[in-house]
Each structure stands twice: as C-alpha cells, then as structure tokens.
Amino acid sequence: MRDTVTPTHCPYCALQCGMNLTPAPDGRAVEVSERVDFPVNRGALCGKGRTAPAVLSSSVRLTSPLVRSEGGALVPASWEEALARVAEGLGRTRAEYGADAVGVFGGGGLTNEKAYSLGKFARVVLGTSQIDYNGRFCMSSAAAAGGRAFGLDRGLPFPLEDIPRTGCVILVGSNPAETMPPSLRYFTELRENGGTLIVVDPRRTKTAEQADLHLAPRPGTDLALALGLLHLIVAEGRTDEAYIRERTSGWEETRAAAMAHWPEYVERITGVPVPELREVVRMFCEPEAAMVLTARGPEQQSKGTDTVGAWINLCLATGRAGRPLSGYGCLTGQGNGQGGREHGQKADQLPGYRKLTDPVARAHVAEVWGVDPDSLPGPGRSAYELLDALGTDIRSLLLMGSNPVVSAPRAAHVEERIRSLDFLAVCDVVLSETAVLADVVLPVTQWAEETGTTTNLEGRVLLRRRAITPPEGVRSDLEVMHELAARLGGGRNLEKGFPTDPEEVFEELRRASAGGPADYSGITYRRLAEENGVFWPCPADGPPAAGGTGTGPRSVGGGGHAARGAAELDDPTRAGGTGRLDTADGAPAPGVHPGTPRLFHDRFATEDGRARFAPVSHRAVAEEPDDEYPVLLTTGRVVAQYQSGAQTRRVDELNAAAPGPFVELHPRLAERLGAAEGEPVAVVSRRGRAVAPARITTAIRPDTVFMPFHWAGEGRANTLTNPALDPVSRMPEFKACAVRLEAVEAGRPAPSSP
C-alpha cells in the first residue's frame, strides 16, 4: 500500500479527467479528491468518476480465476490451472482449425500498453488475423471520415481549450451534459464569450437545453441536414473560394451533390424547417471562426462515414479547418477510444496507426517484434462481423475489457453466437454478462491498481498511475499475456516479447510507432508525469525545422484567418501542459519535440497537403419504419451509467440515480399506446423484444423512442438494434432502427437490472 496522494485519471470516458487518489486506512479503498492542475477538467468530476473507487472494493469483485466444472458451473481455480486451460483451449482450436479459428476481442478502455500487447499477442503468439475491439462501435465512422478528408484521424485536432474562443460550435449527435459533464463548461464559456452553440439531436437533451438553437431531425437524416446546409451556404455565397482553391480538392463534385438537396427537400427528409436551416447557416458563417463536433449520433449509422464527411464538408467549404479556432472534431466516447485504435487491436492496423496492408509498415513493426514480416497475418473481420462468426469460422475467443452481450448490436444473436463457441476465455474485474458464459474467467487488475497510458479525445497522451496494491488473487492483463505467450509459444520463449512492466511495454510501443501517423516515439513516462500529458504526433527527433514537419500537422498559419483570439494561438504547441519543455526564452528545449496540440494549420496530412471533400448524397437508414414497425428507435447513454454498465452497475450511488432501463416516448405516442408514466412498455424490432418502463416527455420527437443501452436482461436495448454496417468503417447502425410499441399487461413489475 502507498500512503501518498497519487495524481491520476478517471477509468471511464474519453475526457480522462484528472483526479487525486489517497489510499484509505484499510489499504484497499482509495478516496478521490480534486486535481486542479489537470487543465481538461480543472478538478471537476462527474458522479461516475467520483464513485469509481467503489468498483475497486466491490463485493462482487473477482479475486480468483474461475473455470467451468464438469457439472457446468464456474468454480474457483488456481492461476496455474486457469492459464493452462486457456492455453489448451486456444491451442487446440489453432491446431484443429487453423490460427484464424481463434478470435481476440479487445476494448476501448484498455490502456495503450494493453491494446498494443493484445494486437501483438494475436498476430505473433496466436498468428490470427481475427482481432478487433468494441471501439469499432464507438467512433470508427468519424475515424474513417477524418482519415479520408484530412489524411489523419485524431478525435480533436485541437485542444478543448480552443472551444470557448471560437465563434460558433455545431454539436451533432452529442450530449456531453450526460456523457462527459465536466466538458460542458467549454460550451458554457463559449456562450459567455459571445459565441453560439447549435445542437443537432432528435431529443431535447440537457445539452440541447443550453443551446442557442436546437435542431431535432429524424434519426438517421443528419446527412441530408448537412447537405441542405451546404446547399444554402453555396446559394447565399458564403463559401471561402480562396481557401477551397488553395487547400482542398473535390469541391465541384461535392458542390453538385449539395445543390441537388434543396432546403425544402431537406425539410421533408429531416423535419427541420427551412428557416432553422437558414439560421444555422447565418450563425455558423458570420463569425470568423467556427467548429463542427460530432459524436455517436451521426457516426453510429450504416452511412456514418458519409454523414460525418458531409459535416466536414461544411468546414471545408467555409474555410473552417486547419485554421486557428476552427475545425472539425469528434468527441470520442470510451476512456481510451483514441489510443485503443492507434496501436494494433483494430482488425486492419498496426501500432502507430499504421496500415496492416502497407508493406513498409509491416516491415517496420516486424523488425521491432523480431519476426518475419511475412508471418504477420493480414486484416481480419470488423467487430460485429467477428462476433457474428463465433461458433462457425471462429471456434475460440479470448476477450479482454469488453462485454458484448450487452454492448453489441443484435445482442441476443451475439449472445447465442458466444454460447456456441468451443472455448471462451474472459479477462475482467467482475463477472459481466459475457464473463458468465466463459469457460475460464481471469480476474485482472483495474485502473488504480496498475500503471499505464491512455490517450484522451484531444490526442493528449496521459499517465494513469498505480495508487494502491491490487487485491490478492488478481493479475494484470499484461501478466496474463506474458503467461499465455509462454504456454502457447511452443518452446520459442515468446513470453520475452510480452513484458509485464507497463513502462517496458511503452518503450517498445514508442519504437513501433516511430515514423507512423500516431508517432509516440518522443513521449516517455517521465515526460507524461512532468507535463500533464503530451499530444501526438511527437517524434523522438526533436522539433521540426521552421515551416512544418512535412506532413505539417504542428505548424499554424496558412490562410491568414483573423479569428478571435487567434494571435495567442500562433504557437501551435501551446496547450494545457506545464510548459516544462520550454527554455527560459520560451523556445522548446533543443532536441525535444513539444508534441502537437493543433493539427493541419499549414497543410493537411494527405499526400498533396489538401483536404478532400466527400461528394456524398442522402440515403435512408437501413431499416425505414413501415406499417409493421412504424417508429424509430434510437439509443444512447445516461449520466449515471457507463457503456455496458459492467462497472457502474456495481456502484450503489449510481444505481440509485439510474436504476434501470426506460423507454422515452412522446405523449402523443404514449396516448396512442395507452402507456402511462412508469408502466412497462414493450419495444419490438425484427431482432427481438425489450420491456422497460415508459418515460413520457415532450423532449423527444413523436415518431421516435429512445432507450439507454447500459442494461442486460429484459430491458436490453441492444436486443433491438440493427447490425447494418457502414461500408467503410464497418460500424453498426445503433442510432436508428424500426420498432413497434406494444402495451404490457397492467400491474406487471417494470424490469430493472443493476
């Protein structure tokens, strides 16, 4: 046990709020206190962060491996027996069916070190191409659209501190008041400074209530909405022709696509009146700087990549990308959603955001790993496709940091696929709804018990520090991979490539990422501790020469846009940290790269340095309402629960605030159904039926119902959702599917499933 205050970060969402932890006298619990030196949250925490220590000492915490007995029950076992069973289960499948019959499924909450090691473990130890992670469900459409437009994807290409100083923010399908409450102050300060906030959401959320203008389009129509806005921008002569000419490509085709989307046509598709479209254009175009930020709303669609691309088009047409206080960004969701997708647990990627299909990237990473590049498998299936193949092409699965029985679309089918596996091993801290189906469950350490790095939504790499000693009986995920590599290596001593010390793993990650788009090679644990985080890319070879890096992500200028407050941002490296790298005259210390808070200010990371417009057109959701299923279901989160609820549903205070699922519906819909507040209603889609109490409110469109997705059992929202995939990002359409509502017999108790 340690007896000092440990500055660290919250285990939950992508804001990665700073907090201080002090061990309690019992040595197992920790107390949370404000950490005001971390600039992102300046001490503020939401209820999830404040209560996060409860999971450390929860009575349902796993402290012994569990193995499936002959009688079918999960029973305690030694680590030796459990690890031997996992090695035997995965090894037997590999021997009988080939390496690709073994799957690996990771999570967006894993630290960079774990995500890196898991990708390496899959490809080097198991030799399988079948690895992906639940971050695919979180932001992959924004990643695909950002990569397509800018040549590089980083959630926000600027620090959050830029938001209050821009002129207008359009927040599309994002509800930070519930998903990351401490971030709301950036939008409050924006309005206090005279800027305006526009929120696009089918529901009048707590965030929408604070907006200057709230648009409530039908779910799945925000692509058309963005096209209608671009149409008006062109028609009103508000494009920035010089910027388009000098810094972009593909405008003519995109312009033509937008001009086919007349405002009145867009009003019919979206339900947003033309005067509101005109007002958005005025508010967005009049200030000298503006931003568009997206989240899961536009991204979790079967056309999510195109939808995000359409919103990026607005920024490009008006010269609002790659300029001070302007740009497009994605508010990433999961704690390490950003870093988790950069270091190799994604089906098509190698560390450093390298492509698995790139021979140069394969050679570089293979050299770091000490293997033949030809031995590295190619890209595998995306997350839902991998889960859908369980029990058929994929016979055994190693799952780490994920609970797909609750969080995957078409969850009943996914659960059935998981049950059909020959062998399932799960690493987790509690017996989640997925872990309970496993043949072996390995109890692992969690955030305050281990050290590791995460990368927040700004691209700021952070150090989470160990604050307390883990309980007897648990091991870290890194130790699990080390032990399994020893058992599955066939005498090749593969465990040497899987250190259990996170800093040692990070040192290797630095080398593997060097020269890649997400270059971490100039970042060290020491720097992270001293500087409160470092923004990638941060190469090891010191600051670039004047004029940019070649890819140009760190330099500012290029465009002469006189945004409010822009002058103080002429140093793109200025953001948040302590400035420990600066010499007395303010220049970066020789030979040390300061990191890159702001991207694209001289040029974009495409080959020609130009941003690419996306010539997209409206198309309908994969499943339109019809006579049988006349209503649209959209899903999302509530403030007191997090993702599949595996952790937060173990916290009494959070359960008291959000005890169970509900169906939010408009009074007109409730009246037609005969539903009363708090009484159970059934929601039925082509994939199944869920039952939850009605929550009747005028804050939602009459043609739409909303369910949060944190719960299992009868109220599981993902029983209903549609796994229709975006063709580029392979992201499922969580945000819109056709359902019907059915009355449930009176007096029946409403489900709640903490």
Residues in touch with ligand SF4 (CB under 6 A): 10, 12-13, 15-17, 41, 45-46, 48-49, 180-182
Q: How far apart are CA 517 and CA 351, in angstroms?
A: 10
Q: How far is the CB of 1 from ligand SF4 (least distance, A)?
A: 24
- Closest to ligand SF4 by CB, 10 or 190: 10
- 126 is written with which tokens? 């198991």
Burial class from Cβ neighbours inside 10 Å (0-12, 13-18, 19+) for residue 656 reads: exposed
- Closest to ligand SF4 by CB, 34 or 88: 34
Q: How far apart are CA 650 and CA 430, in angstroms?
A: 9
- Closest to ligand SF4 by CB, 406 or 738: 406
- Name the helix (H) or strand (E) containing 691: strand 688-696
- Closest to ligand SF4 by CB, 109 or 615: 109
- Closest to ligand SF4 by CB, 45 or 427: 45
- Closest to ligand SF4 by CB, 41 or 221: 41
- Closest to ligand SF4 by CB, 49 or 661: 49
Q: How far is the CB of 358 from ligand SF4 (least distance, A)?
A: 34
Using the CB atoms, write b or e for 124-150: b if 16+ within 10 Å: bbbbbbbbbbbbbbbbbbbbbbbbbbb
Q: Taking the alpha carbons of 580, 586, 591, 594 in that order, is the dihedral positive or negative? A: positive
- Closest to ligand SF4 by CB, 50 or 61: 50
- Closest to ligand SF4 by CB, 182 or 625: 182
- Closest to ligand SF4 by CB, 155 or 182: 182
Question: Can you name the residues that pair with 50 across neighbouring β-strands?
Answer: none
- Parallel/antiparallel/unpaired status of strands 460-464 and 452-455: antiparallel
- Closest to ligand SF4 by CB, 33 or 249: 33
Q: How far apart are CA 688 and CA 42, in angstroms?
A: 44
Per DSSP, the three-state class of 113 is helix
- 754 is written with which tokens? 């903490």
- Name the helix (H) or strand (E) containing 362: helix 359-369
Which ranges of 619-689 does DSSP label H, i.e. alpha helix? 652-657, 667-673
Q: How far is the CB of 639 from ligand SF4 (least distance, A)?
A: 9
Q: How far is the CB of 413 from ligand SF4 (least distance, A)?
A: 30
Q: How far is the CB of 45 from ligand SF4 (least distance, A)?
A: 4
For 38-101, the three-class secondary structure string (H helix, E strand, C coil) is CCCCCCCCCHHHHHCHHHHCCCCECCCCEEECCCCCEEECCHHHHHHHHHHHHHHHHHHHCHHH
Q: How far is the CB of 132 from ligand SF4 (least distance, A)?
A: 24
Q: Which of 98, 119, 112 shows the shortest CA–CA distance to 528?
A: 112
Q: What backbone torsions phi and psi does residue 379 show, to the nearest 5 degrees? A: -65, 145
Q: How far is the CB of 581 from ligand SF4 (least distance, A)?
A: 26
Q: How far is the CB of 13 from ligand SF4 (least distance, A)?
A: 3
Q: Is 72 in contact with 669 (CB distance < 8 Å)? A: no
Q: Is 507 in contact with 497 (CB distance < 8 Å)? A: no
- Closest to ligand SF4 by CB, 270 or 532: 532
- Closest to ligand SF4 by CB, 613 or 709: 709
Q: How far is the CB of 24 from ligand SF4 (least distance, A)?
A: 19
What string of DSSP letters covers 184-250?
A: HHHHHHHHHTT-EEEEE-SB--HHHHTSSEEE-PPTT-HHHHHHHHHHHHHHTT---HHHHHHHEE-
Q: How far is the CB of 46 from ligand SF4 (least distance, A)?
A: 3
- Closest to ligand SF4 by CB, 10 or 651: 10
Q: How far is the CB of 471 from ligand SF4 (least distance, A)?
A: 22
Q: How far is the CB of 29 from ligand SF4 (least distance, A)?
A: 18
Query: For ligand SF4, which residue has the nearest CB?
Result: 49
Q: How far apart are CA 502 and CA 518, in angstroms?
A: 19
Q: How far is the CB of 531 from ligand SF4 (least distance, A)?
A: 19
Q: Taking the alpha carbons of 260, 264, 266, 269 in that order, is the dihedral positive or negative? A: negative
Per DSSP, the three-state class of 520 is coil
CA distances (Å), origin 117, targets 423, 508, 638 = 22, 10, 32
Chain length of the chain = 754
- The secondary structure of residue 125, as a DSSP letter, is I
Q: How far apart are CA 174 and CA 182, in angstroms?
A: 14
Q: How far is the CB of 332 from ligand SF4 (least distance, A)?
A: 11
